[in-house]
Structures are given as structure tokens and as C-alpha cells.
Amino acid sequence: MMIRQFLAWTQHDSAGRRAEAASALARAYLYGNLGPDAAWEAKTAILALLDDASPLVRRALAEACAASARAPRPLVVTLAADQPEIAALVLARSPILTDADLVDAAAMGCEAVRCVIAGRHHLTHAVAGALAEIGGPETLARLAANPTARITTGRLLRMVARHGDDATLREALLARADLPLEVRHAVAGRLAETLSGFVTACGWLSPERGERMTREARERALLELCAGAGAAALARVVQHLRASGQLNAGLVLRAVLSGQMAFAETALADLAGLDRARVAGLVRSARGYGGLHLRAGLPEALLPAFSAALSAWREAETGATSLSGAGLSRRMIERALTACEDMPFSEMQAVTALLARYEAEAARDEARAVARAIAEQAEAREASRLEAARVEAEWQEAQARVSEARVSEAGVSETRATHAEAVDPAAIPPLPEPARVSADTIEIRAAALGAEPIAAASGDDLSPAEAASAAALPEAVSAILDALPDAILSSFREEQARTAEARDRETAEAAAEAVLETIPAALIASYREDRARMKLAA
């Protein structure tokens, strides 16, 4: 009853209010503890709201039910077929939708809908395969960038075949951690084709030369990818190459000349229909390769080149010679060229042209390696020089700071010395001191020592110039004291006070000693006896 009243109340309200009411009703149904009757009425009301003319109401329902597993399936399926902005909400997250629902939505929807489906978590093989067949570049790039999407190798190759010329898709595929070798090879091939088409369109290369360079670049990239791969991965790559028509004698010869014997043995085993272990034994045998070559269906004109290259490889394995680098070996190529010199010209021409291109490629690789090593050494030397210059600059800066500190310290010491020489300590008012020894005591000590007391100089004893200087002295001292910093003046006064106190203490002690020396020894002995008797009496 309350649900019907609720619908009647919101029927004539604004679209915004109806959207708020729809969201509240959906959340109450999904997360509220409604009874059976109330839940049935709420579900019916929610389904009735799908007929609302305003997309705001249906969007509110989609936002409320998108991630819930309790949402009514008819509601979710209907919203998945709604406008792209509304359908995207449930297609991206709803656990109610099955693989069939998602495939149907991808087939009937637009590119934006397919792109949303491609970003779903844990996308199954069926849905990923459907998207690989019908999706555009944006959808396929989103699918390839989805780490939880389960995509088979065949579907990945289909994606490369359909839209491998899209740079975003290639980057997304190469960023996948589980990308098989054959797919990487396909991506490299599409990139080579794209570059070849560009230079051909610009008129820089003829179509025939561009096609040959594309093929050789693809073969080179394949061998680089297969370096260090396992036996199972090599077997899959060889099967893919044979199925696509890319496994040929030139590729096998390049593998032998590059020292990639694992790939060459796998390819020969697949072509000859033999076990790889048996093929490996025949390859390492000096007399057994001829029959394997013919059984694999390779051109007989290439047999001398293969035999010479394998002979050089065996020598390298036994340590008689050395093969440098992971690319084409110039030593093996030269050995193959020498073996082809006795062949008829009609048969030799194509083989020597192929080997000549390989030799040029190997020479360029060696030159690049040397140039790279020289550049690295130059960079290392430059880095060392810059580091040494930086250390030297820091050392110079530190030395300059030390010198400045020493100069500053010397200037302070010189200033203190100058102030100490320029200021008369007697002209500075003395600080409060402890009890001083009186002048009478000093005179008594002087009399005891038999010396004449020192008389203070008076103005009568001075010449006119000395008197004028003495009269001007207080003003000069005052001016000097005003110019001194407070810290220096305070330190100077403390030092003067300590010096005066020590001097007075020494004078008092000397005066006391002089007085004691003038007292007769008998009187002192009598005084000491009286003190002893008083102590005993006490």
C-alpha cells in the first residue's frame, strides 16, 4: 500500500525528484529489510519506473543497481540495452550479466559500449574473443590493457591482424606481461610493415626493396625475441610461422649464421618431421646434415652454405675459433661465401646475394657496437671529468671558506689587540669589587720592606703639553669606549676586574707577610702559648 502511494506521489513531480525517489526505492529494496509483500511491491515499482520518460530516473536506477548481485535481472538487462551513458553503468560492473548478455550487448552496441565491456574485471575467453572480432582500435587497446582479461593467443593474433597498425594497440599489447612470443613477433612485423609503407609512400624506397627490408627486419626481430626462450615457446613460434607461411630457408639460414641453434634445430625438426634430439645430433655431425637438409625440403643450392656455416659453428663450440656477438657472425658468413665459389653462376648468384646482404648487416652491427663502445667510453670519461671538476670546485669552495674564517678570526684578534692598546684600563670605571686592600696596608708593607712609597704624579710635575694631553685623555677614552661593541667592552671589563682582583689579593698577602715579619719572634711564641692554654682550658 505504501509503495503504491509512493508511486502516486512521485508521478506528477519533477524529473529530478522522481530520480531521487527511484534511487531511494531501489536502495531500500536492495539493502533494506523489507518483508515479502513489501519487497514484491518495491520490485514491481522499480520495474515500472523503467517506463519513465526521463533518462535521469533510469540513470538513478542504474547507479543504484550496477554493483549489486540482488538487483532484479529484468531490470539490469533492460538498463544494459538503454542509452550508452546508462548502459555503461551496468555493463561495467553488474555481476548479473552473463557472457551471452555481454556478447549481445557488444554486438548490438556502439564502440563506446564495447570499450566499457573490454574494461570489465575478469573478462572471460568468450567475451574477449567476441570483442577481438568486432571491436575497433580503441576497444582492442582497452582490452589489451586489461590485465585480468583472459585472451587466447589466437585472439591476440587476430587483434594484431585486424588493427596492428594502431600504435596505441601495439603499445598495450607489448605492455602485457603474458604476451606470447608469436604475438610479439606479429606486433614487430606490423610495425615493420607500417614503417615500410611510410617510406614507400614518401618515395624513399621502391615497393620491392621495402618489402624485402620488412621481411628481414621481421626475421631479425624474431630471432632476438627467441634468444633464451624455452623449447615449448620455440615450438609454438615455429608452428605459427609455418602456418602463416613465414618459415623459409632464409630464416633458418639466418638462425644458423646468428648462432641461434635452438631455433634452427626446432625449425628443422618441424620441417623434417623428426624429433628435436635426433635433429640436434645430425646437426652436430659432420656427415649427417646433408640428408636432414634434403628431408626438410630446403633448396639444394643452400646446402654448401649451410654445411660451411655449421662447420664454423662446430669449430667455435670446440674452442678452435670464437664467434663474437649474438647477431650474424662474419666468420660464418665468410666461410659460407667461400663454399659457394665453386657453384655454377646460375645457382650461386641468388645465394651469394643473400650472403652478401647478411655480411653487410653483420659489418654494420659490428660498426654500431664499436661506435657504441666508443661513445660509452667518451661518456664515462666526460662523467669522470665532470665529477673531478665538481670535487675540485667543492674543495676550492671549502678552502675559500676556511680562508675567510681565518681572516675573520685574525681581524677580530687584531681589533681586540688594537682596542686593548688604545684604551687605558685606568680610565675605565672599575666594576664593583670585593674588599680591596687599603693604601695604609700598602704603605706598612713598603715600610717593612724598607722601600719608599710611590707618590702619585700631580699636575705640578707635568709639562704644559703633558697636562693638555692628560686633560684630553678622558674625552678620548670616552669616545673609544662609545665606539666599542658592547660584547667587547663587557669582556674587556670582566678581564680588567679579574686582573685587579688578583693583583689586590697578591698585595694583601704580601702586606700581611711583611707585618708578620716585623713582629718579634718571642711575642709570636707567647701568643701561640696563650692560645694553646685557652684551648686546654676549654
Scored b (16 or more CB within 10 A) or e, 292-326 reads bbeebebbebbbbbbbbbbbbbebbeeeeeebeee
CB atoms within 10 A of CB 51: 9
Residue 91 CA to residue 77 CA, distance in Å, equals 9
> Alpha carbon of 224 to those of 82, 141, 221, 302: distances in Å?
49, 25, 5, 23
Question: Are the CB atoms for 148 and 123 separated by under 8 Å?
Answer: yes
Biggest distance spanned by C-alpha atoms of the chain:
149
- The ranges assigned to domains in the chain are 425-453+470-537
Write out 277-297 in H/E/C secondary structure.
HHHHHHHHCCCCHHHHHHHCC
Please report, for residues 102, 123, 124, 148, the alpha-carbon distance to residue 87 in angstroms, rounded to integers and kept in the order given: 11, 17, 20, 22
Torsion of CA 366, 367, 373, 379, to 10 degrees: -160
pTM beyond 0.85: no
Q: What is the pLDDT of residue 79?
A: 94
392 contacts 359 by C-beta, under 8 angstroms: no
- With a CB cutoff of 8 Å and minimum separation 6, the contacts of 481 are 423, 428, 489
pLDDT in tens, the chain (538 residues): 456 666 666 666 788 888 888 898 889 888 888 888 888 888 888 888 888 888 999 999 999 999 999 999 999 999 999 999 999 999 999 999 999 999 999 999 999 999 999 999 999 999 999 999 999 999 999 999 999 999 999 999 999 999 999 999 999 999 998 899 999 999 998 999 898 889 899 998 899 988 888 888 889 989 998 988 889 999 999 999 998 888 999 999 999 999 899 999 999 999 999 999 999 999 988 788 888 999 999 998 899 999 999 999 988 877 544 444 447 888 899 989 988 888 888 778 888 888 999 889 888 888 888 999 999 999 999 999 999 999 989 888 888 888 888 777 776 666 656 555 555 555 545 544 444 444 444 444 444 444 444 444 444 455 555 555 555 555 555 555 565 556 565 666 777 777 777 777 777 667 666 656 666 666 667 777 777 777 777 6
**pLDDT value, residue 436:** 43
CB atoms < 10 A from the CB of 202, how many? 8
Query: 236 near 180, Cβ under 8 Å?
Result: yes
